[in-house]
Structure 1
Amino acid sequence: MIFKRRRKTDPGTAIEAFWTWWATARPRAERLIAGDSDDALVHDLSQAVSAIHPELQWEFTAGSSSENLLVVSAAGDPELRALAERWRRAGPAPDGVFGYASARQGSPDALEGRLSIAGHELELAELRFTAEEDEDLDCVHVGVWHPAFPSMPDGARDQVAFLSLDWLLGEDVVEVWVGRIQALPVAGAPLTGARLAALVTELIPDEPRWRTMSGEIDGKPVIALAQTHLSPARWPGYDLHIRLDVPYRARDEHGFPDQPTLDALYALEDHVSAHADGAVVVAHETSDGVRSTHLYADRPAATHALEPLIAGWQDGRVRMTVTPDPRWEQVAHLEP
C-alpha cells in the first residue's frame, strides 16, 4: 500500500478562493444582514474562512465609513494576526455598503446592546470600569464590573470583561495598550465605557515611543533601544523578522562604539529607516563590537530592498538574517 503525504493548505490560495466566492455571495450577505434567513450562507462563509485557517473567526458588524463591516479576526492569537491582515489586503476596496477589517473595531456605541451569557441577560450600558496607567509598561490596566457579576461564574465574568473591551476599544488597541484585564467582584468602578475609551485614546502616542534598556549577554554588557510595544498587533502583516548585525572596530573597554563610530551607526540606521520598503525598524542592541538592528517586514521582497542600503559599511560586512516570526518571538526578550 502506498501512502501519499498530505499537502499543507496554502493560505494564499484559500484567501484568493474566499474573495472569488465573496464576489457572488455578497448580495446574499446584504439580504442576511437586512433580516433574511440564510443558514447556507453562514455555513459557506464559515467554511471559506476556516479554509484560510480553522482558528480564524468572522462576524458582521456595523461599520464607520461603510454601513456594514465583515471582520475576520485572529481572536487574540498573535500567530494569526498577519494572516488575517493578508486576507484584508487581498480583498476589494470598501464602499458605502461593505468594509472589511482584520480585527474587531472599537465603537463608542458598542455597549448600547444586550449580551446573553451563562443564563444571564446583561445590559452592556451598565458596565463600569477602572483604569490604572502604568508608565513603566506604557499601558493601562483595566478592571471591569457589572451588576450581574456576583451571580455569574468566574469564566463568564472574564469573558464579558474581554469581549466588552474588544467591542469598545478594538482588538488591536486592547492587545497593544491594555495590560491586565480583571473582572471585578464588587461594585465601585467609576468609569463609563465612553470615559474609559477616552482615557485609553489619550494614552496612545502620535509618534513612536522608544525605551532604553541595559543588561548582559554571555557576560558582556549590552544596551538596547526598543519601540513600545513590540507586538504583531501594532504592525499587522509584518511577520518576517530581519536582523542586521553591523560590526564596528573602534570601541571602549565595555565593547561599545566610540563617538565617531556611533555617529556612523546612527547615519546607517537613519538611511535604512528612510529607504526600507515594506519594513519597519523596531529595536537595536549594542554589545561587544556588534550593533544589531531588528526590523519586521510584510513581504519577502523587503529583504532585497535592504541589500543595497547596507552595502559598503566602513567596518566590514553587515550580516542579514531573515526569519518568519508571526509571534514576534525574536524580540520578545526586549519587552518589559
Structure 2
Amino acid sequence: MIEVGIVGGSGYTGGELLRLLSFHPEVEVVVVTSRRFSGKPVSSVHGHLEGIYDLSFENPTLAEVGDRCDVVFTAVPHGSAMGIVPELLGSAKVIDLSADYRLPPRVFEAVYGLEHSDVRDAVYGLPEIHDVTGHDLVANPGCYPTGAVLAAAPLVSERLLSLAVFDSKSGISGAGAGPSMVSHYPVMAENVQPYKLTTHRHSAEIVQELKRFDDDLLSISFTPHVVPSVRGILTTAHLFTIESMDGEETRKLYEKFYYDKPFVRLRKTISSLPAVRGSNFCDIYIETDDDNNRVVVITAIDNLVKGASGQAIQNMNIIFNLDETTGLWQPGLAP
C-alpha cells in the first residue's frame, strides 16, 4: 500500500483528497495535519467522512510526516508550500496543490507579490500535457488553467491560433472554505460576479502552458466570474485560427490529441457542470464559426476534483506506476 499524508487537511481540497482517496484500493492515509484542529477527528470538520476514516488531525513535525509517508499532498495557502516542501523531499514524493511551484520563481514573485525561497524544478502536473513519470515534486495546476489549457491545447500544439480568449465561470467553492463576501449568500445568490478582469493570477499559468506549444501565439486573454453554484468551472474558449477550419477537421484534431487521455471526454452536446460534478472528467464540446475563423470550445470540470484534488491523485497514480484512473473512475453526480 502507498502510505499517504495530507499537510493542510481541513480545507475543501484536503477534504476532497480524503473523499477521493477513500475509493482508492492502493493507498492508506496515515496522517492528516492541521494546526487549528489538531487532536480533533477528521470528521468533525469533514462531516461527510463520518465512519469513513478513523483519523484525527495531527500537528507533527514535517520530518515526521515525511518519514511516515511515501507521498504527501500539500494543500496549504499560496506562499506556504515553499517552506514545507524542502522538509519533505528526500523522504517522500510531494504533490503540491498551491501555486508555489507552478511558475518560475521570478514570475511567481511578480504575480503573487511574494519572495520565493525555494528555487527547484517541479513538473507541471497536467497529465494530458506533461508526463509526470519519475518526478518527486509535482506542481498541481490551478483550476482555471486546467479547463482553459485543455480547451486550447490541440489547436495551439499545431500552431493554428492567432488569438485565444477564455471566459470562465466558477462555483463559489473556488474561493475556499473561509467565509468571504464572495461566498456570502446574499451577495452571490442570483448573481454572476466578474472579478480581476485583466489581472487574475491564473493568467500567468495559462500563458505559460500555451506558450510552451507556440511562443508566437499573439494574444491570450482570460476573464473569470463567480456564479451561484457550489462546484464546477465552465470555460468558453474563443479560439481564433489563422485559417478557417471546418467542424469535422477540428473534431478529428481533438480526437487525435486526446485519444489516450481517459479523463477527457469529447461531447456531441454542450458540456455541462452536472455531468462532471464530483468526477475527474473534463468534458469538451467544439463548434466552429467559419465566417470569423473562430473555434468555440466549451470545457466543464469540477474545480475541486479535476481542478484540484482529483488531478493530484491522477498525478500520484502516474508517479507510482498505477493506472491513472485508479480510484477515480466514477461518473459525475448529475443532476
- After TM superposition, the score normalised by the length of structure 1 is 0.28
Q: Which has the higher relative contact order, 1 or 2, with Cα contacts under 8 A spaced 6 or more apart?
A: 2
**Higher-helix-fraction structure:** 1
**Higher-strand-fraction structure:** 1
Larger Rg: 1
